[in-house]
Amino acid sequence: MLKDKDMQISIYSLLYYKIPEKHTLRLLKDELDFSFINTLLEKTYSKYYGRPAKEPELMVKLLTLQRLYNLSDERVIEDASLNLAYMYFLDINPEDKLPHPSLLAKFRVNKLQKYEITVDEILTEVVKQCVKKGILKDSGISIDTTHSEANTFKATPERVMKYLVKKIFTSL
């Protein structure tokens, strides 16, 4: 069951003014709209039954922080409970409680994988918004081919012999 957002301003939220204007997370939060996540995952939650769920938007933002800074589930929760910029990006008050790290894994499996929504698809939408807002430049495509093999003939003695035998039989 999803609950309505309760965004009461905390007396501690004045600390957010200490975050520099050019900080990456401040720019992302101020410029991007993550509300598409709640509508994307709305069908995976019951509106009337069950205990109140953690906001999908919060969970995806935690996964985004995890991907941005290459953190484990435990580390992203730990850092988010201490780092003001993380709290500001997550749209939480400093005294708010964060979910248990195991909920991130459950969220990835039960909500994203089960309904075939990948973190990469969500990040693609975020990147599209960044391009529209001018945060990123749309100048080309970069493809990571670390784990792809080139379409070449690896000349091992066995392969050379098989290749020659095949050529001999086809020519006869």
Opening angle at CA 23, ends 21 and 26, nearest 5: 75
pLDDT of residue 52: 58
- 37 contacts 56 by C-beta, under 8 angstroms: yes
pLDDT of residue 5: 52
Structural domain includes residue 172: no
pLDDT digits (tens, 9 = 90+) for 23-69: 888 888 888 888 888 777 777 776 666 655 667 888 888 988 998 89
At 143, the pLDDT band (50, 70, 90 cuts) reads low
The average confidence (pLDDT) of the chain is 78
- Supply the range of the domain harboring residue 26: 11-138
Q: Residue 157 contacts by C-beta under 8 Å, 6 or more apart in sequence?
A: none
At 1, the pLDDT band (50, 70, 90 cuts) reads very low
CA dist 138 → 39, 67, 90, 142, 144 (Å): 26, 21, 26, 11, 17
Q: How many domains does the chain have?
A: 1
Structural domain includes residue 25: yes
Structural domain includes residue 80: yes
Q: What share of the chain has pLDDT > 70, as a percent?
A: 76
- How many Cβ atoms sit within 10 Å of the Cβ of residue 157? 7
Structural domain includes residue 154: no
pLDDT of residue 18: 85
Structural domain includes residue 162: no
pLDDT of residue 74: 94
Average pLDDT of span 89-109? 87
Average pLDDT of span 88-106? 88
Structural domain includes residue 150: no
* pTM of the predicted structure, to 2 decimals: 0.67
Four-residue CA torsion sign, 115, 116, 119, 124: negative
Structural domain includes residue 5: no
pLDDT digits (tens, 9 = 90+) for 110-130: 877 776 777 677 778 878 888
